[in-house]
């Protein structure tokens, strides 16, 4: 039987569980994520086999995320708290324009499925 003898014991138990999870993430999950990151080209290739459109969306999404992260880090380094401006080059904009039809089509299908779903 599990009994917590006091509020302090409850906090200690919870803190111990948090440390166990953190250690698990650090020792098991993080190395796997690093391997996945190192294998990004392979993962993108596999996604491309399933859906070329998904691979393009994935590539652009991660590319944009990288730009945003860099801009936030640069702004922090410069002490800028007034906002961030991103500069997208012509090739990146063309890539984004190329996926817009697929994203719009998927959004329309999702919307149609939501309106066609029976109410619970």
Banded model confidence at residue 108, pLDDT cuts 50, 70, 90: confident
User: How many Å apart are CA 115 and CA 109, to the nearest integer?
Assistant: 10
Closest CA to 98 of 66, 57, 43, 44: 57
Residue 107's φ and ψ, nearest 5 degrees, are -65, -40
Most confident among 5-19, 43-57, 92-106 (mean pLDDT)? 92-106
User: How many Å apart are CA 73 and CA 79, to the nearest integer?
Assistant: 10
Q: How far is CA 97 from CA 23, 44, 49, 62, 65, in A?
A: 42, 19, 22, 16, 17
What's the whole-number mean pLDDT along residues 70-90? 76
Residue 116's φ and ψ, nearest 5 degrees, are -85, -15
C-alpha of 91 from chain center? 23
User: How many Å apart are CA 75 and CA 115, to the nearest integer?
Assistant: 42
What's the whole-number mean pLDDT along residues 40-48? 76
More confident residue, 28 or 81: 28
The pLDDT of residue 99? 86
The pLDDT of residue 90? 93
Show the DSSP H helices in the chain as ranges.
7-24, 30-38, 40-50, 52-78, 90-116
């Amino acid at each position: 039987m599990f009994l917590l003898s006091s509020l302090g014991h409850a906090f200690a138990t919870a803190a111990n569980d948090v440390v166990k999870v953190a250690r698990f993430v650090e020792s098991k999950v993080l190395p796997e994520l690093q391997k996945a990151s190192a294998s990004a080209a392979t993962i993108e290739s596999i996604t491309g086999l399933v859906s070329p459109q998904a691979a393009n969306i994935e590539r652009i999404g991660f590319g944009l995320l990288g730009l945003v992260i860099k801009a936030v880090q640069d702004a922090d380094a410069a002490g800028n708290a007034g906002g961030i401006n991103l500069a997208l080059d012509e090739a990146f904009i063309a890539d984004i324009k190329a996926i817009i039809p697929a994203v719009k089509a998927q959004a329309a299908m999702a919307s149609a499925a939501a309106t066609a779903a029976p109410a619970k």
